[in-house]
Copies of this chain bind each other. A is one copy, B any other.
Amino acid sequence: MNYYSEKDIRDIVAGVLAQSGLSASAASDEPAAAERGEPIPVEVSARHVHLTQEALDVLFGKGYCLTPKKELSQPGQFAAEEHVKLVTRKGAMESVSVLGPVRKHVQVELSATDARALGVQLPVRLSGDLDGAGDMLLMGPKGVYEAKACAIIARAHVHMTPEQAARWNVRDGQTLSVQMDTARPVTLDGVIARVSGDAGLAVHIDVDEANAAAVTPDTVGYIVKRG
């Protein structure tokens, strides 16, 4: 018969819990509330586009500058007064928000519901990763911009500063499970940590994820597992 030390047992228990989708800290003496950590605000991103200056020139006129309408939680980012129309072979979507400031790449972020309405298949990608992204036309008051390999369904992510990442015990790029205790509780198991100095603490999800979890403006998320 083999015998095991208390450390062995802790390791075994931690292993079982990890396999069961629970954190090893559940085996510790900490109170239950602390196990899932502090809450993080959940923000819902509706469909939107990011534009380059080149695309702005085509859509709104040469040298055009976006007009900030509302500040977003990520410092310096804003929803603009301007809107564009999205057009595919199979559908169109009016008055889609433009976010500023301008970026190096045009990016269209839609929900799977939107993609179906537009009759296009889009990959789920982290913002900035346009591998396999879809094509569509953007229409503005001054012209049409052909957005090739620009459209994605955004992967859920959490923005944190390095200090916050340390506090939540998270690495940049790590895959996290984020639980939302709503009327329709859901755990998103593929949330990516985005750690940067100028981040505003928030979990960003799309409208389908928000609807699946019956998210309200008060909804918060808890990191319950680290990949």
Q: Taking beta carbons and an 8 Å cutoff, which residues of A are in contact with B?
A: 1-6, 8-9, 12-13, 16-17, 19-22, 26-27, 32, 35-36, 111-113, 116, 124, 153, 155, 177, 179, 183-190, 207-209, 211-214, 224-225
Contact B187 A189 (CB under 8 A): yes
Contacts of A185 in B (CB 8 A): 188-190
Contacts of A211 in B (CB 8 A): 111-113, 116, 208, 212
Total identical chains: 2
Contacts of A20 in B (CB 8 A): 17, 20, 22, 26, 35-36, 224
CA A177 – CA B186 in complex, angstroms? 9
Contact B6 A9 (CB under 8 A): no
- Taking CB as reference atom, which chain B residue is nearest A4? B4
Contact A177 B183 (CB under 8 A): no
Minimum-distance CB pairs A-B, first 3: A212-B212, A112-B211, A185-B189
Contact A32 B19 (CB under 8 A): yes
Assess A2 versus B6: contact at CB under 8 Å? Given A21-B224, A186-B212: yes
Offer 6 A-B interface pairs, CB within 8 angstroms, sorted by A.
A4-B6, A20-B22, A20-B35, A116-B211, A208-B208, A212-B213
Assess A1 versus B12: contact at CB under 8 Å? Given A19-B35, A208-B212: no
Contact B184 A124 (CB under 8 A): yes
CA A224 – CA B177 in complex, angstroms? 14
| Smallest CB separation, A50 vs chain B (Å) | 21
| Smallest CB separation, A47 vs chain B (Å) | 12
CA A177 – CA B5 in complex, angstroms? 33
CA A111 – CA B184 in complex, angstroms? 12
- Taking CB as reference atom, which chain B residue is nearest A116? B211
Assess A190 versus B179: contact at CB under 8 Å? Given A9-B4, A21-B225, A208-B212: no
Contacts of A5 in B (CB 8 A): 1-4
